[in-house]
Amino acid sequence: MKIVDATTDLCSNHWDVYRKVKDTYSLWSAAYGSLTTEDFLKQLVALPETGVHAREIAEFLIRNPERWK
């Protein structure tokens, strides 16, 4: 599934990845001390080992920060 815009609901695969991305943020922010969600998402996108779904979620959340809840 391609994420088109903020009004598009995520499919279950993307929701699973969304939750994993948020779990990863919790780990990273604890390790770094302070890390904004935007900086975290940009680093995630830049990592070569980030999967396609996680990359799509990260780019989606960079464009739609209000969806980070």
In the complex, minimum distance from the CB of residue 52 to Zn ion, in angstroms, rounded to a whole number: 10
In the complex, minimum distance from the CB of residue 16 to Zn ion, in angstroms, rounded to a whole number: 9
- Part of the chain binding Zn ion (CB under 5 A), chosen from 13-21, 24-32, 38-46, 59-67: 13-21
Residues 6+ apart with CB under 8 A from 10: 1, 3, 18, 57
Quick check: helix, strand or coil at residue 38? Answer: helix
Q: Out of 11, 42, 51, 64, name the contact with Zn ion by CB under 5 A.
A: 11
Region for 2 from its dihedrals, namely left if φ exceeds 0, alpha if ψ lies in -120 to 50, beta otherwise: beta
Token pair recorded at residue 45? 């996108």
> Does residue 14 belong to the site contacting Zn ion (CB under 5 A)?
yes
The residues that touch Zn ion, with contacts defined as CB under 5 A, are 1, 11, 13-14
